[in-house]
Amino acid sequence: MAEAAATADAPAAVTETAAQTTAPKTTPGGVDKSETVYAKANADGTVTETTVEAVLKARNGATIPDVAALRDIINKEGDEEYTTGADNALTWQNSGSAITYEGKSDAALPVTTRVTYYLNGVETAPDDLAGQSGRVRIRFDYTNHTRETVTVDGQEYTGSVPFTAITAVILDGDKFSNVEADNGKVMELDGQTAVLGTAMPGLADGAQELHDGVQEFSDKSSGDLSDDFGSGLRNVVRRLKAVQQAGKNYQTFSGLPAGSTGSVKFIVETAEIKK
């Protein structure tokens, strides 16, 4: 959340989101696919357009298998062509170089952002804020829509994929003053004020899972320490591993061929409010 005295329109914001655990390295003979998902959103955080840029790297073979639930796909840096198959399968020509392509997606993002504006303590619609003066407060709320079930030592755990979200807002120093931020940092940059905020949407589920495990560990360990201490501690470790595994498992947004590994990050640009 950022708060400032202002005589200005509300600025644009950029939020970058990624799963907290990186994906494993490419499997031998497989395809490594990295995705950057660019989304444009209205001032309130509602997404209006999503573009996925993907980079494919191949080892050997005349073709590169891929999966992409995208439309209007174009090769951005080469002349390799692709053919389509069932279930969003793509087969790219392999020229020995990485393939960078992009396409449009209609799928919902795993983490969404809601932006709320306040003027002098009163919630104000973005369109009504344009051109106004006073104490402006901008609040960013993140919702994690993912659910992942993982198995650790034969036991199933279900929770959200842990994400880290970083939101950046640049404020004109001539129009904004006395800037403050909760869960963030304010920096002065050549007459402008940069506000960086961080959040971990979905980690609350993981923290609750871990808390439950700690509580169970504590309850059981209050009795026979020789038997319950070990089992309670193992349960805590299993729950922690489940949170980590959920992050590792989230490797793609548009799709990934079987036997391949991937990584994905999301960049959402929220529109500025202008009179």
- 15-60 pLDDT, tens digit per residue, is 888 886 544 444 554 458 999 999 999 999 999 999 999 999 876 8
Q: Which residues contact 7 (CB under 8 A, 6 or more apart)?
A: 133, 175
Tens digits of residue pLDDT in 235-255? 767 777 877 888 888 999 999
Residue 92 has pLDDT above 90, yes or no: yes
Q: Can you tell me the mean pLDDT for 56-81?
A: 92
What dihedral do alpha carbons 105, 106, 111, 115 form, nearest 10°? 110
What distance in Å separates the CA atoms of residue 112 and residue 140, rounded to the nearest whole number? 10
